Amino acid sequence: MIKMAAEERSSSSNKKKEKKGQLLNKVLFIAVLSVSAVNILYFHYVHLDEHLSSPSQTFRELHVEGAKTTGDHSMVTAALSKLKPGGEDLALNDEEQHSVAGLSCGKYGGPPDDYATEEMVFWSDIPSDAKYRSPFHAKGLENAKYITFEPDHGGWNNIRMAMETALVMAHAMGRTLVLPPEQQMYLLGQDHFSFNDFFHLDSIALEHDGFDI
């Protein structure tokens, strides 16, 4: 009898512990859910509304206008024609290119630049980086060396990482990066895409002395 009573007390104690554990889990779950809901609401009503203050058509027009600028290869051809012998810098008017360094959200209908620089990570304008040339960089167009790459048939994120690796290798080795031709990319729903549709590669090449494309 004594043994049975002890077992009952032990079983009752274990059940109480289980109930306490379940209650604690429920409290933690509700707390996490509440914090997540507050964060979502804060983002929606404090940050997101600033980006939705202009009509969607305005953003579409800005995007289309930007695409026209980045897709204009005549700008690059004109810039390259100004290249002086000896590998000197390109004599290029700042208004003729899309600046990739720095941040200007107001230009595209976004928040003020002072606010954006505190809330966003962006590519800083560092003149010493833009002027850097690899010690392996060939001097003069006649000594140029090249690096090519071919994307696989995976999704865009995998293709992007491979392209970024090739870009860094080209900069480090001082070689001209040769982009693959336009082609269909998995899940993007268009027949032809080039990497310049996603990255301002022409502008990067113009702003950075050590990178050629």
Domain membership of residue 101 as a residue range: 56-207
User: Residue 179 in contact with residue 196, Cβ under 8 Å?
Assistant: yes
Alpha helices per DSSP H over the chain: 2-42, 49-51, 56-70, 73-81, 113-119, 127-131, 156-173, 201-207
Residue 27 lies in a domain: yes
For residues 13 and 83, membership in a common domain is answered with no
Of the listed ranges 36-40, 84-88, 131-135, the least confidently predicted one is 84-88
For the stretch 9-58, pLDDT in tens is 666 666 667 777 788 888 888 888 887 877 776 655 554 444 444 444 44
Span 135-149, average pLDDT: 80
Same domain (yes/no): 115, 12? no
How many Å from the N-terminal Cα to the C-terminal Cα in the chain?
89
Q: Within this chain, do residues 31 and 81 fall inside the same structural domain, yes or no?
A: no
Tell me, yes or no, whether 188 lies in a domain.
Answer: yes
**Type of residue found at 176:** T
In a domain, 212, yes or no: no
Residues 66 and 44 in one domain: no
Q: pLDDT tens digit string along 94-103?
A: 444 456 666 6
Residues 60 and 38 in one domain: no
Q: Check: CB of residue 46 under 8 Å from CB of residue 115.
A: no
The pLDDT score that the predictor gives to residue 79 is 46
202 touches 76 (CB < 8 A): yes
Residues 139 and 153 in one domain: yes
Whole-prediction pTM value? Answer: 0.46
pLDDT at 87: 41
